[in-house]
Structure 1
Amino acid sequence: MKDKAVYVRSTGASPYKFNEEHPFSPLRAELAETLLEASGALPSESVLEADTALDQELELIHRSEYIKAVRGLSLPVPPASAAGLARRFGLDSEDTPYFVGMHDAAAAIAGGSIAAAEAVMSGRARHAFHMSGGLHHAFPGHGSGFCVYNDAAIAIASVRQKHGARVLYIDTDVHHGDGVQYAFYEDPDVFTYSIHETGKYLFPGTGFTHEKGIDKGFGACCNVPVQPYTEDESWLECFTETVTRVARAFKPDLILSQHGCDAHAYDPLSHVHCSMRIYLEMPRLIRQLAHELCGGRWVALGGGGYDQWRVVPRAWSLVWLVMSDHPLAARLQEPQGRLSPLPQAWLDRWQPQAPATLPRHWLDDTSAWAPMPRRSEITVQNRQAWELASQDF
């Protein structure tokens, strides 16, 4: 098998779209996948088509009454009780409104993440990437933050049930991975780690350093909240110092990571000021830790990211390039390769539809970016946060 990586595609996920004005769009995955194809980095033999999750799989995390409500609210003509159901189950907000076909699309996403985790745990592949996954804000009985079913938590629960695996969950989305954290807050065999913009200023308002788990799960949770306007150097310092200590202390059987890419300076829904560099460096470190600690077993999911034209395609493609050990990933590490161009065919295909000028290179040229005026103060505050978060490891 060597380091075989599989790219998991859940074809039924494309209808997961709340409305035309909503920032969460399935176009993100299409843009990223076509970028990989144009780069010659996605051979057909690497693609695994996933089945939709069954109700009993969804029920590993979600309550049956919630799944029943999601089904009802997914109908072209919802039941008369729709307004009450939506309000009760968190599906009536501007962030997470119910839509036609919601259950099938969300269950397809969950099925993709289950398939990715099973491919790795069964030995079919060393690594697996499910780009459409990573809906980390959903709770057992309500939707939240653009998320209906929590595919990450469902996939973890599935491998716990089938394989008894100790799982390290690493969340790099700029928003705290609250739904996954609280799904396993009492479980000592699932470690949840999240680096994110502090909940003082950003949804969901949680993820502080004192959140460490409860009962038997106390100590199996680590949060690294960073300050608004954090830049690459400080973000990567926080991530590297903490996730390395956590992983080596926990000694997982599997690493499952969520790669929301909304900590980028272009993202409209956060205040962090990082570049594409972090989206190359973070998967590189996670891959290294997986090989060091758990035989290379690594599952990666997508997540947030709302500059869908300039950021998401590059960031998610970088995860796969690193995971599949593509030569381009190594070239991007070299000084002369840092501004390697994006495929012209991809630019030609999508630029006519894009509302902004698409980037011409894989990584950002940050030489023209104005430094944050509070850079030193932010770095000190972030250092204090990661030192506090990792003091037990």
Structure 2
Amino acid sequence: MLQAAYVYHPDSLNYVFRRDHPFDQRRLVMTMELLEQVQALPENVIHIPSQPLNEQLLQRVHIPEYIETVKQLSLASPAEPYLSQAGQYGLDYDETPFFKGMHQSAAAIAAGSVYAAELVMSGKAEHALHLGGGLHHALPQKGAGFCIYNDASIAIRHIRDHYGARVLYIDTDVHHGDGVELSFYTDPEVFTYSIHETGKFLFPGTGRVEERGAGEGFGCTINVPVEPYTEDDSWLECFSTVLQQVLECARPDVIVSQHGCDAHALDPLSHIHCSMRIYREMPKLIHQAAHDFCNGRWVALGGGGYDIWRVVPRAWSLLWLEMSQHAILSEIDRHPLLALPPAWLARWQQESPVPLPDTWLDDVSRWEPMPRRSEITERNRHICELAASYLK
């Protein structure tokens, strides 16, 4: 059995809305090249899915009318009435506009996440990472938030249908994992735990602590919406405290986690002020949880992250280094300002519009502290206490 498998579907690079769109798949290439530079990505751990996405599985998450509309809008010259009804399915806005080949690339991403789940559940790998996945905003009947098909929900559906396993879905993206929550809102065998910036100020506007599931799934939805300008200590305090209680309650057979890295202070689409430290610590906590509760079974997906130059490659590389327990991790822990590979910096600085950071973690001693830090921390603690009280 492989300790960790790195799933990569080349067709995911075709998931491109337009040249100036914030969802930029160069981040996948940059991450792989960074890992290769530190000898953390040997060929034997890279898995390329060979099977297309099962249409019946896709229909377990998305309604047929939506799927057909996606397919028709993927053509070079879409026909009426599909053009006129694109808005009905969330596909005619600047946020998630339709594009040629949309169905094929979105289906490839979903196939990658299902493949990662299958590697873990079949026992071929203890952990599996699919950074192309994590498109958690897609709803059963529409696209949203840069997401066409909800690959996380599709992978979880595969796990439930084929293995009957109890799933804990952990969402660390700064935006609420609304699509996955909705997919399993009434399912008592799928717990969803999302930490995110409060929807009072940020898309998608959901993820209140009072959202707890419904019917038989009541109590299986856990949300921790934190205040804008939350920093590392408060974010990690909230995440770790509630995570432990969620684990005790959920008792999962497998963890599926989403690792959007847009809670960083440099991300242009949110208001959280965290550093690279949280992207070192959260995977470590989830990794330990997988071994404590799931016999190591852990499927990790990518997600948001819109500073592709200074944040995403480092954050996602740290995730893989944790999953694979690469030796460089101990060096980073001893020397947080360990330098990034000069060859990688030289390669990508040529394209980057901003100076690239040259260390694995951030030198936060140079950052100005956020005003209202104590007030923000106390508000977040109150939300954590409320979320935890709902689990009792």
Query: 1:52 touches 1:112 (CA, 8 Å); kept in 2?
Result: no
Deviation at 1:54, TM superposition (A): 2.5
Deviations 1:24-52 (A, max 9, x none): 01111111111111111001000110133
Deviation at 1:329, TM superposition (A): 1.8
Which is worse superposed, 61-70 or 229-238?
A: 61-70
Deviations 1:299-332 (A, max 9, x none): 0000000000000000001110000001112222
Per the alignment, residue 20 of structure 2 pairs with: 21
Taking the aligned partners of 1:328 and 1:251, their CA distance within structure 2 comes to 32
Per the alignment, residue 250 of structure 1 pairs with: 250
Given residue 55 of structure 2, which amino acid in structure 1 is its aligned partner?
Answer: D
Matched, 1:370 2:368: yes
Matched, 1:353 2:355: no
Which is worse superposed, 299-308 or 323-332?
A: 323-332
Per the alignment, residue 134 of structure 1 pairs with: 134
Which is worse superposed, 228-237 or 337-346?
A: 337-346
Given residue 366 of structure 2, which amino acid in structure 1 is its aligned partner?
Answer: A
Taking the aligned partners of 2:216 and 2:84, their CA distance within structure 1 comes to 37
Deviation at 1:100, TM superposition (A): 0.3
The SS at the match of 2:5 is: strand
Question: Structure 1, unaligned stretches of length 5 or more?
Answer: none
Deviation at 1:22, TM superposition (A): 0.7
Deviations 1:317-365 (A, max 9, x none): 111000000111222222xx11111111111111111100111000000
Deviation at 1:82, TM superposition (A): 3.0
User: Number of residues paired by the alignment?
Assistant: 390
Taking the aligned partners of 1:332 and 1:282, their CA distance within structure 2 comes to 15
Normalising by structure 2, we get a TM-score of 0.98
Taking the aligned partners of 1:159 and 1:180, their CA distance within structure 2 comes to 14
Give the alignment of 1:219-230 within 5 angstroms.
219-230=219-230
Taking the aligned partners of 1:283 and 1:357, their CA distance within structure 2 comes to 27
Taking the aligned partners of 2:188 and 2:145, their CA distance within structure 1 comes to 26
Deviation at 1:372, TM superposition (A): 0.3
The SS at the match of 1:252 is: coil
Question: Structure 2, unaligned stretches of length 5 or more?
Answer: none
The SS at the match of 1:316 is: helix
Given residue 31 of structure 2, which amino acid in structure 1 is its aligned partner?
Answer: A
Per the alignment, residue 42 of structure 1 pairs with: 41
Taking the aligned partners of 1:223 and 1:188, their CA distance within structure 2 comes to 16
Given residue 362 of structure 2, which amino acid in structure 1 is its aligned partner?
Answer: D
Query: 2:245 touches 2:388 (CA, 8 Å); kept in 1?
Result: yes
Query: 2:209 touches 2:224 (CA, 8 Å); kept in 1?
Result: yes
Give the alignment of 1:1-393 within 5 angstroms.
1=1, 4-50=3-49, 51-334=51-334, 337-391=335-389, 392-393=391-392
The SS at the match of 1:387 is: helix
Taking the aligned partners of 1:321 and 1:340, their CA distance within structure 2 comes to 14
Given residue 380 of structure 2, which amino acid in structure 1 is its aligned partner?
Answer: N
Deviations 1:84-128 (A, max 9, x none): 221111101110000000000000000000000000000000000
Deviation at 1:10, TM superposition (A): 1.1
Given residue 94 of structure 1, which amino acid in structure 2 is its aligned partner?
Answer: D
Taking the aligned partners of 1:162 and 1:89, their CA distance within structure 2 comes to 29
Deviation at 1:21, TM superposition (A): 1.4
Deviation at 1:248, TM superposition (A): 1.9
Taking the aligned partners of 2:60 and 2:33, their CA distance within structure 1 comes to 33
Given residue 387 of structure 2, which amino acid in structure 1 is its aligned partner?
Answer: A
The SS at the match of 1:84 is: coil
Normalising by structure 1, we get a TM-score of 0.98
Deviation at 1:65, TM superposition (A): 1.2
Deviating 4+ runs (over 6 angstroms):
none
Given residue 387 of structure 1, which amino acid in structure 2 is its aligned partner?
Answer: E
